[in-house]
Amino acid sequence: MSVKSGTDCLILGGGLAGLAAGRALTQAGRRVQVLESGDAVGGLARTVAHDGFRFDLGGHRFFTRDTHVERFVRELLGDELVTVPRTSRIYLRGKWIEYPLRPMNALFGLGLRASAETLLGYGSARVARRMLPVPLVSLEDWVVAHFGRPLFELYFRDYSEKVWGIGCRDISAEWMAQRVQGLSLGAAIQRAFLKRGPALPTLVDRFLYPRLGIGRIAGRLREEIEQSSPIATGTQVVRIHHDGRRIEGVTVRQGDRVHDLPGGAFLSTIPLTQVMQALTPHAPAHVRAAAAQLRYRDLVIVTVMLDRDRATDQTWIYFPGKDIPFGRLHEPTNWSAAMAPPGRTLLVTERFCFRGDATWNASDAELIETTVHHLEKLGFIRRHEARDGMVVRIPAAYPLFDVGYQERSQILCDYLERFENLRVAGRGGLFRYYNMDQAIASGLAAAEALLGRDTEMRATVAAGAVP
């Protein structure tokens, strides 16, 4: 169904997917209401400002092969965008490995023996895969089959288990297939040593970034939508009422107040599992059972503000080792000098966790203290330079792609199809490992569908084929 002029379209979630849809709908003359539970819009792609410092919730680079989305972002931000060179490192077994790999650095970093083993393992995996193809169910199956066991054990096993919090045999191979980024070390090895291999987005050496942080994309979208339609932050959708065929309205909580909002059309970008919990009446038992088995991985960002002008010269640094509590860090001033007051800098670390576990429940003081301890041990800072710290807990940062997730999420999506005035978009909304460009594209496609202008774009997003 399409949203007629004069009908309110309620957009659940004010991340990039919801906001991109909101802009497209308001530009087409429709009235929307964006309902966002957080204090600010932007979702995972927001930028936190604190005492003159600014940081993303894990550095967000903008890169896309979708010319439509690139035009959309360039048009929105104009000369706010800067181009940032990308250099990254992996801290592997006490050594710094440049990423993308360079042969000499890899040889010296990994050592001759590990490098030779990795190359041999890679070669024999390729031969084995051709001669004896086997079904690839888990991440372990996939990586061992494509890159060999030595590379799996050297890097993929520890980093993947740190990110996902479950064993590599329980992580779906589908995730690797869907996210070519996961292949980048192997591809980097091919490119470094063999001078060939696929050109992957992670190997791109420059990317776009808004001078004041990635949150400016959402900030600009907000400004445009609010010219004609309201955005309600601090507004959590707690119930979604339906009659079995159509969504009739939602119940929202704003602080202590709870009230109902009717609407003609609905776009949900909030986590798929939350939609299931909110549906009133409940979905059938088999749908709820599938929803109960879908999980998201959560994230805790610990940022340390420093009394020094620079701590690293990298875009990202990866820490696969389990002895270091964070998996990745970045220094926002390497992305844009405007991210800190002159002469000062900050380091932003990412800890992957599950809501309610020891990391999620640790006090802010404890998280900052252990972060400062490890940053000093790694040689980035001296303790007395750490002047301030800030912790941000982010629920549902990653859809968890465990073995069997696809069938379960499909049951949910199939069930939601019955509601003729509901569309679903976005990363958590569709349970896809989307980057920003894909989240934006899915929001734009949903808006097109709501406008009754179903285009190719919608089909592409539905198939998950947007790069």
Ligand X SMILES: Cc1cc2nc3c(=O)[nH]c(=O)nc-3n(C[C@H](O)[C@H](O)[C@H](O)COP(=O)(O)OP(=O)(O)OC[C@H]3O[C@@H](n4cnc5c(N)ncnc54)[C@H](O)[C@@H]3O)c2cc1C
Residues that bind ligand X (CB under 6 A): 12-18, 35-38, 43-45, 57-58, 60-61, 236-237, 269-270, 274, 299, 350, 397, 426-428, 434-437, 439
CA distance 248 to 264: 7
Choose between 121 and 271: whose C-beta lies nearer to ligand X. 271
- In the complex, what is the shortest distance from the CB of residue 47 to ligand X, in angstroms, rounded to a whole number? 12
Name which of 3 and 270 has its Cβ closer to ligand X. 270
Least distance in angstroms from the C-beta of 448 to ligand X: 16
Smallest gap from Cβ 252 to ligand X, in A, equals: 7
Between 139 and 439, CB nearer to ligand X: 439
Nearer to ligand X, 43 or 332 (CB): 43
Nearest to 50 by CA among 369, 355, 344, 314: 344
Tell me the DSSP string of 8-38: EEEEE--SHHHHHHHHHHHHTT-EEEEE-SS
Do 105 and 97 meet the contact criterion of CB atoms below 8 Å apart?
A: yes
Name the 3-class secondary structure at 141: helix
- Dump strand ranges (E) for 211-312: 231-232, 236-242, 247-254, 257-262, 265-268, 279-280, 296-306
Q: How far is the CB of 139 from ligand X (least distance, A)?
A: 19
Mind giving me the DSSP string for 78-96?
Answer: GGGEEEEE--EEEEETTEE
Residue placing its CB nearer to ligand X in the complex, 95 or 239: 239
Instruction: Give residue for tokens 């007051």.
Output: 341
Question: Structure tokens of 381?
Answer: 């800072």
In 3D space, the residue among 441, 453, 463, 458 whose CA is nearest the CA of residue 69 turns out to be 441
Give me the least distance between CB of 453 and ligand X, in Å please. 21
Name the minimum Å distance from CB 241 to ligand X.
14
Q: Which is nearer to ligand X, 121 or 165 (CB)?
A: 165
Please state the φ and ψ torsions of residue 146, each to the nearest 5 degrees. Answer: -90, -35
